[in-house]
Structure 1
Amino acid sequence: MTDDPRVPLTVLSGLAPGPSSALADALHLGDARTAVVHHDLRQIGAGVVRRRLRLGPRDQLTALELAHGCVSCTLREDLLPLLRRLARMPGVGRIVLHLDEAMEPEPVSWAIENVLVGDRPVSEDVVIEAVVTVLDTACWLADATGDETLDERGLIASPEDERTVAQVLLSQAEFADVLVLSGVPADGWSAAKANAILERLAPAATRIDLSALDTDVAAKLRAAVPANARRGRVTDMHGPLLTGEPPLHPDCGIALFTFTATRPFHPGRLHDAIDVLLDGVVRTRGRLWVASQPDIAFYLESAGGGLGIGHAGPWLASPDGPSWEEVSPERRTLASLRWDPVHGDRAQEIVVLTDRAAPEEIEAALSGALLTDDELADGPSAWRAYPDPFGEWHEEPCEDTEVPESTVEASSAQNRKDDRK
């Protein structure tokens, strides 16, 4: 990366405001040519975002008034243009993007690579050197397996933000190249259990203790980035659901369970069955084939007590599906391995990171939501007439907001488990 003329960018995230700020401070003080940018979203409901920019002795706080209070506006109207300006300043050698606690690094990385500022993306000016996430080990396990919403904690990123703390926390961790651990776990069991989750959630990420970053912080972080790190590369929703080489054996009650099937889900029974993913489950990621919308692949994510389902685009076998040359080699390989002469690449593929949940109960619930032999024989014309609870979609606050392909739109199925009782 030393021959790359673009300015290196570190994306720093985490729901640990104190330790994250301490790390950002250390990166700022360690190099006078490092610009540190932070957007505070605590007043975003009133259309105000507070931006702090530090570079050498400069420490500038600016209140930004947005037409619509949302993260997408902040990205499009201020953050991306600012990154371009900083990258072109002679005095800037590196940039640290210190995200607000409620922001996830994956959609930000997508925006840097894909959203146009003028006629070009900002990725022509900056290159993501590392994605670093700070974890507070004192409360990380409880937050990762809990039901609390961002709203309940006062951390929403827009007035319509319904995400849970667990959804944000796990998304930040699994997208990181380096996990910086701070705080002291409540006890040895909590430490072991959190370790078991992280080994399966982010097996490729390097873990380093914050106390080890007392000197030469930037150099130590760069050295900790794995050679095969994703460095902000966004995963295709049709890409692998398991990344790295996670342990497949259970540990401290934590285990990985995979559900696959080559027949569609009945939409009504699926809507009822997904409750099984809201108890005793840490994380779920999957692609679904729903009978009432047979040409569209669905993408499912859950974390703690929050769950969302959204469109992932058409299947390759769909009438308006992409050509094989337009998709990734991984997707072509997977489709080739499971291609059905009638249904093509349509299939169920769900990976569940469990905590106390019995895999056989998940298997039974999801299997019961599949079409029966008689329903399967009726064919797509009959399937499309099924009542469909997944037909209404949440819209971004801004009608003109560009939405990352990696972002799962929240449908009417997005609920906390206490709302579904």
Structure 2
Amino acid sequence: MRTEVVLVAGLADHDVAEELWRACPGSVLVRHDLRDLAGGVVRRWVDGELTVLELAHGCVSCTLRLDLLPLLERLGGRVVVHLDPALEPEAVCFALREVDVRVEAVVTVVDRAAWLADATGEDALADRGLAAAEADDRTVAQVVVGQAEFADALVLTGAGTDPVLDAVLDRLNPRAPRRDRHALDAAELLAAVPDDARRGRFDDGFGTLLHGQPPLEPAHGVAVVHFVERRPFHPMRLHEALDVLFDGVVRTRGRVWVASQPDTALWLESAGGGLSVGNLGPWLAAVDDWSGFPVERRAAASATWDPEHGDRSQELVVITASAPAEGITAALREALVTDEELALADELEFVDPFAEWHDEMEEA
């Protein structure tokens, strides 16, 4: 019997996973505690029965590969997984691609009292005693924003309402149904997940960045900056401009084209005070044979093809909680190459901090 999984994520203490489990007769509840993972110890509960696991390597990937994945395949039926606070559902779903498991829904619990401060802060997980390993340098913001953004449904805990938080969530994940924990009907919540929800699926980074068509008009000081340009960034000026993405910004995601790496599409992602840059692979303009690329990407590139630059472009979506949108747009625009630099791009030797950054990330 194929396993169908409901993943429940969230940084704060909650009993939402138990509520979903009770609403699904015959389901199994699985929970992991990774607080001692650095020492190679993982505690796991299956329907309340504790098992202490000792791993040769104390890391999240080992926990997933050696325990959770085979456990889910073995259990079959419906399983509700209460994720450790340090786990991001996106990483778990990425691992689940290796096994015959269907993600029915990802549910994230948002603490009204703490989420917005966490999402715009600079604290590291290690500062809170939540790091999954000694080398885990993720920030709290990266985790809570990633958990909420990847969710198919959101459950809000805590008293009262916060219009700023609501405005941020409207733009971060506009299609996920939101319910209050105090009036939660778990079965109704799962039924409310849209038929075309993500349910653990990934894209290749070249799809739309405005998932679910979020409102673009400002509300309660929250705004969306959609930055699109057909001109490369100067790598050093972009590196200096990144400071504008930290203070008062909840999320930045998007594709970046730097003049020093004309054939490579970079992926830039930030949350609060944490930022990462990765390599998405080549622009189609740098490739002769497109047959190995998704049909959707080829169609989108052809529809917007530039005679000179092909599919190369900047596209960033920034969600601000308090930072002025105009200042972000101005800083990014000033980081673009000038006409003179663009004309001499093949001859200039740019200092590229992103090349060094990427090399360090690959080593890590």
**What is the TM-score of this pair, normalised by structure 1?**
0.81
**SS of the residue aligned with 2:286?**
coil
1:160 equivalent to 2:149? Answer: no
Label 1:208 to 1:411 Cα distance change in 2 as closer, same or farther (>3 A).
farther
**SS of the residue aligned with 1:326?**
coil
5 Å-filtered alignment, 1:41-120, equals 41-54=34-47, 59-87=48-76, 93-113=77-97
Partner of 1:275: 243
Label 1:394 to 1:336 Cα distance change in 2 as closer, same or farther (>3 A).
closer
Name the amino acid aligned to 2:62: C
Aligned-partner Cα distance in 2 for 1:231–1:342: 38
5 Å-filtered alignment, 1:121-140, equals 121-122=98-99, 124=100, 126-140=101-115
Name the amino acid aligned to 2:43: R
1:389 equivalent to 2:353? Answer: yes
Picking from 236, 248, 254, the partner of 2:216 is 248
Name the amino acid aligned to 1:297: A
Q: How far is the alpha carbon of 1:166 from its aligned partner?
A: 1.3
Q: How far is the alpha carbon of 1:25 from its aligned partner?
A: 2.3
Q: Is the 8 A contact 2:290 2:298 kept in 1?
A: no
Partner of 2:290: 323
1:37 equivalent to 2:30? Answer: yes
Aligned-partner Cα distance in 2 for 1:345–1:324: 16
1:286 equivalent to 2:254? Answer: yes
Structure 1 consecutive aligned stretches of length 4 or more whose deviation exceeds 4 Å: 29-32, 393-396, 409-412
1:347 equivalent to 2:313? Answer: yes
Name the amino acid aligned to 2:94: W
Q: Is the 8 A contact 1:310 1:411 kept in 2?
A: no
Q: How many residue pairs end up in the alignment?
A: 364
Aligned-partner Cα distance in 1 for 2:356–2:335: 20
Partner of 2:163: 192
Q: Is the 8 A contact 2:225 2:329 kept in 1?
A: no
Q: How far is the alpha carbon of 1:222 from its aligned partner?
A: 2.1
1:177 equivalent to 2:142? Answer: no
Aligned-partner Cα distance in 2 for 1:207–1:279: 27
1:211 equivalent to 2:182? Answer: yes
Percent same amino acid among aligned pairs? 56
Q: How far is the alpha carbon of 1:273 from its aligned partner?
A: 0.8
Q: In structure 2, list runs of 5 or more residues that go unmatched.
A: none
Q: In structure 1, list runs of 5 or more residues that go unmatched.
A: 88-92, 114-120, 397-408, 413-421
Partner of 1:402: none
Partner of 1:225: 193
Label 1:410 to 1:244 Cα distance change in 2 as closer, same or farther (>3 A).
farther
5 Å-filtered alignment, 1:396-407, equals none
Partner of 2:332: 366
Name the amino acid aligned to 1:181: L
Aligned-partner Cα distance in 2 for 1:69–1:309: 25
Aligned-partner Cα distance in 2 for 1:143–1:315: 35
**SS of the residue aligned with 1:391?**
helix
Q: How far is the alpha carbon of 1:394 from its aligned partner?
A: 6.8
Partner of 2:19: 26
156-165 or 278-287, larger mean C-alpha shift: 156-165
Partner of 2:267: 299
CA RMSD of aligned residues (A): 2.2
